[in-house]
Structure 1
Amino acid sequence: MAHAEETVHVNVLPPDHVKIRKLWMTALILLVITVIEFIVAFTISHEYKDLRVWIFITMTIVKAAYIVGEFMHLRYEVKVLIWSILIPMIFVVWMLVAFLYEGMAISAVR
């Protein structure tokens, strides 16, 4: 009886090359986001200052989430762990925004 040879090629590159390629891809993604931030900084006029600030805040959150997902390996964790970190952070951000608006309102009354 002849046995058929099965060849499975999962990865043709050595593991080190795969890791290096992943790091370069991560650096490229972060570079693209940073370039977009620079374009926004130098093309949006001062008349639209609020829009520019919100774009920067959004892009900073995107970069932070990507960095946490990649370098802290949160992307590869179970979903329950991810939500147990995200939900308290959402409430902390909401609390900070609420305190900021409340403080501005108290300051305006005085």
Structure 2
Amino acid sequence: MAAHAHESNTKRIWIVLAILSVITAVEVVLGIYKPEALHLSSVLGTSLLNWLFIILTIVKAYYITWAFMHMEGEKTWFRRSVVWTAVFLICYLVTLVLIEGGYLFDTLAPLVKW
């Protein structure tokens, strides 16, 4: 048997931590300040701010899958089957939440003071 050299992943872990921290910090800052240009504009049934949160969350989920499930070392077909299945499932669930949320808002608007 050939000896397998162990490589340190410390640098890679710090890079992943930095990228995920920056994305999370952007989400937190946008959630606290809620810029009116993003919050009050409507695109495809919800605000641009909500779409930005959805996209950033999908990017974080993709990067976590890529880094911590070690997808970069797998075969292309396997990477695509894992990652794209998750992406399509997330998009489907987001669509359902937006449709149902819009329905509840329209239905309860006369009854509840938002």
The aligned length equals 92
More helix by share: 1
1:65 partner amino acid = Y
- Residues 100 and 40 of structure 1: is their aligned pair in 2 closer, same or farther, counting only changes over 3 Å? closer
Distance between the aligned counterparts of 2:66 and 2:13, measured in 1?
Answer: 13
Unaligned runs of 5+ in 1: 1-13
Answering whether residue 71 of structure 2 is matched by residue 57 of structure 1, we say no
Query: Which segments of structure 1 move beyond 2 Å, counting only runs of 4 or more?
Result: 42-49, 85-105
**Counterpart mapping for 1:27-106 below 5 A:** 27-45=17-35, 48-49=38-39, 50-93=47-90, 95-96=92-93, 97=95, 101=99
- Residues 74 and 35 of structure 1: is their aligned pair in 2 closer, same or farther, counting only changes over 3 Å? same
Aligned to 1:25: 15
Unaligned runs of 5+ in 2: 1-5, 40-46, 108-114
Give the TM-score taking structure 1 as reference length: 0.62
Distance between the aligned counterparts of 2:92 and 2:20, measured in 1?
Answer: 29
- Residues 43 and 83 of structure 1: is their aligned pair in 2 closer, same or farther, counting only changes over 3 Å? same
Preserved CA contact (<8 Å) 2:58 2:87: no
Aligned identity (percent) is 30
Residues 33-63 of structure 1, C-alpha deviations (whole Å, 9 max, x = no match) = 1111122223333674312111111111111
Residues 2-33 of structure 1, C-alpha deviations (whole Å, 9 max, x = no match) = xxxxxxxxxxxx933xx111111111111111
